[in-house]
A and B are shown apart, each in its own frame.
Chain A
């Protein structure tokens, strides 16, 4: 794995999983519509090899006005279904309430994309400072900064989240910006003790 977090880049090759293929296809739509996004949470650990399952992949999109939202909705209609919205009006209502769209390929339910709006300051930081992961010298995927992922997972605090935080920290510990990790930890009022035995 070629990791250069100072340049905010990670490049490596792997056999693509079903999750990877789903993500690559979905973000190609966002790229074609010039919609900024960042992927956070569970998929980030799966991308780097953790063999755990998740039914949904969490993605933040930049705020969209109604015409761009409709454009996205209409493009998705071709190959995807929005599970919790059967019309644009419902989809718009969900969006305006800052709830998430659940999007899957047609005739499938797993995996699905949880398309989220930015809510907190940390969501904004993720979108503004992504890390570009290049798979197989071909596919670029933008993910949340690892230091923020680790701190946020510790903040969430379930067993699964603690394991994810530990996984990312173990895998990238020589490359992480510990000052940045510390500052997120202080802001989220969490301790970093679960990152080491």
Chain B
């Protein structure tokens, strides 16, 4: 039988840890020049953008053929 109490505690601890990571990340953003963090962010988003849209276009071609 699942220990729901324990699972709830673990979930709460997971959330606490992820929130602590946010604190660390914001501290990094605050001390990092905008051009550096924003370039990294833009690179990340661009790669996802290219990948998702390429896959989607392929699927559209397949569904038409």
Contact = CB atoms under 8 A, between A and B. Distances in A.
Given A14-B35, A51-B41, A163 B48 contact: no
A170 interface: yes
Nearest to B20: A197
Give 7 closest A-B pairs by Cβ, nearest first.
A14-B38, A170-B26, A17-B42, A15-B38, A110-B52, A18-B49, A17-B45
Given A159-B14, A194-B19, 10 more contacts: A13-B34, A46-B41, A108-B53, A108-B56, A109-B53, A162-B18, A167-B22, A167-B25, A167-B26, A194-B15
Contacts, number: 81
9 contacts: A16-B42, A17-B41, A51-B44, A53-B48, A107-B57, A159-B18, A167-B26, A171-B26, A171-B29
Nearest to B32: A49
Main SS class of interface, B? helix
Nearest to A160: B18
Interface residues of A, number: 30
Contacts of A167: 22, 25-26
A167 B30 CA distance: 12
Interface of A: 1, 12-20, 46, 48-51, 53, 107-111, 159, 162-163, 166-167, 170-171, 194, 197
A187 to B, nearest CB: 23
State which size class the interface on B falls in: 20 to 34
A20 B46 CA distance: 11
A123 to B, nearest CB: 26
A163 B22 contact: yes
A110 B23 contact: no
Nearest to B30: A171
A50 B18 CA distance: 13
B5 interface: no
A109 B48 CA distance: 12
Nearest to B36: A15
A167 B27 CA distance: 10
Contacts of B30: 171
B42 A163 contact: no
Contact of B46 (A14, A18, A159, A171): A18
